[in-house]
Amino acid sequence: MTEIDRPAKSLRRVAITGLGVVSPVGIGREAFWQGLLSPQPEGERRVHDFDPTRCYDDPKAIRRADRFEQMAVCAAAEALAQAGPLDADPDRIGVLVGTGVGGAQSHEDQTIVNEQKGPRRVSPFVVPMMMSNAAAAAISIGHGLQGPCESLATACATGTHAIGQAARWIQWGICDAAVAGGAEAAMTPVALAGFANMRALSPSGRSRPFDADRDGFVISEGAAVVVLEELERARARGASILAEVLGSASLADAHHITAPAPGGAGALRCMRRALEDAGLEPGQIVHVNAHGTSTELNDLAEAQGISQLFGSPGPIVTSIKGVTGHSLGAAGAIEAVALVLSLQHGLIPPTDGLEQFDPALPPIDVVQKEARRFTPGPSLSNSFGFGGHNGTLVLGPV
């Protein structure tokens, strides 16, 4: 077989030009940022004041959409509004919005209808409501985006993987722009019972990443979306460049369905691969937005990986899950938005709930008590999910 001689292509640079977020500590990027600088709320981490009517024109469409889709649609609307006109052909604009669980509430609700009232009373809309690609499809349809429209589900790494993969669409010339992120609304009776019975949830209801007394994660819900564009096209149309996607990585532990690889091996390999993708050395990283779930094994493995890669004290570390809780498939996207806001403000939010750093962990430089000023530079956002799905983004100022 004759080998085809193809000219080498240089990768295109990827800018972030829009942010949208729906979270338990603030809806919209400004409210969200203030929430990150405030103490964690009491009680369940639901988005109590979420109103989907602000981003849907048709009330029927709201009734036919699961809550995770509604949140994603609202986050996308905010991100696209900030980005402004994308100046690209619709079939060159992609959508990649994932979810860890999908329409869990719709599925549980209609299961009850089926059991109590019979199959003929089950809603004909339950399938599109519970399917994992519903959010991506709704965003594509609502904004006329005709490029690749996909969804993925990699547990708690979903949002990070979605942004990293969508950035590659642009790097490789498949798209000129993309809408990417994650959404989750899985605080359902069955899901809550399952997480509680596997002893993953905090019985105290307090999220305490890296703390000596951490006792599990606090489940939450939400969505976050970013608008990605080829950097030079964004500059040419006069867009405001919020940050740049410098690199990313997606690797598997191949170890256990829930527990991370021992010794931080999976976290270490993923962060190292992301740095290689970005063409950076560990010493150039100034900040790590940690996965930091507040569970015993996750925080240990991540701290070990950070310590092994960067040494001591290494870059400044924070976990916003102290405030936001853990929104599963949306978490990585929410944390990517938080990282971009940190780069813009030159400020790293504290790890709320961290009172006494666990002496059994390697000595990493975790922000406690009060936000810390820093000089923005290349930074990581980590996500490590059930099943051994690991993801890291490298973001930086332009």
Residue 6 pLDDT > 90: no
DSSP 107-134: HHHHHHHHHHH-GGGS-TTHHHHHSTTH
pLDDT-based confidence at residue 5 (cuts at 50, 70, 90): low
- Per-residue confidence at 10, pLDDT binned at 50, 70, 90? confident
pLDDT digits (tens, 9 = 90+) for 329-384: 999 999 999 999 999 999 999 999 999 999 999 999 999 999 999 999 999 999 99
Torsion on CA atoms 141, 147, 149, 155, rounded to nearest 10: -130
DSSP H helices in 118-264: 126-130, 134-143, 158-171, 189-197, 231-236
Active site residues: 156, 291, 326
Where do runs of H (alpha helix) occur along 237-295? 265-278
pLDDT tens digits, one per residue of 40-65? 999 999 999 999 999 998 999 999 99
> What share of the chain in percent tops pLDDT 90?
97
Q: In whole numbers, what is the pLDDT of the chain averaged over residues?
A: 96
Distances (CA, A) of 234 to 78, 83, 337: 18, 9, 19
pLDDT at 4: 53
pLDDT at 7: 54
User: Is the pLDDT reported for residue 126 higher than 80?
Assistant: yes
Give the lowest-confidence range in 115-119, 309-313, 349-353.
309-313
| Predicted confidence band of residue 313 (pLDDT cuts 50, 70, 90) | confident
Residue 9 has pLDDT above 90, yes or no: no
Asked whether 34 and 88 are in contact (CB, 8 A), the reply is no
Delineate the domains of the chain, giving CATH numbers in brackets: 14-236 (3.40.47.10), 251-396 (3.40.47.10)
Closest CA to 351 of 305, 304, 299, 273: 299
- pLDDT tens column, 323-333: 999 999 999 99
Q: Is the pTM of this model over 0.85?
A: yes
What would the mean pLDDT of 112-120 be, rounded to a whole number?
97
Report how far Cα 161 is from the mean position of its chain's Cα atoms: 8
Q: What is the pLDDT of residue 18?
A: 98
| Cα–Cα dist 386/100, whole Å | 10
Question: Which string of DSSP letters, residue by residue, matches 244-258?
Answer: EEEEEEEEE--S-SS
pLDDT over threshold 60, residue 76: yes
Closest CA to 347 of 383, 308, 320: 320
Q: What is the mean predicted confidence (pLDDT) over 121-134?
A: 97
**Res. 1: pLDDT tops 60:** no
Q: How many CB atoms lie within 10 A of CB 41?
A: 17
List the beta bridge partners of residue 227.
18, 179
For the chain, helix, strand, coil in percent to 5 are 40, 20, 40
Tell me the per-residue pLDDT of 181-239, one tens digit each, with 9 for 90 and over. 999 999 999 999 999 999 999 999 999 999 999 999 999 999 999 999 999 999 999 99
What is the maximum alpha-carbon separation in the chain? 66
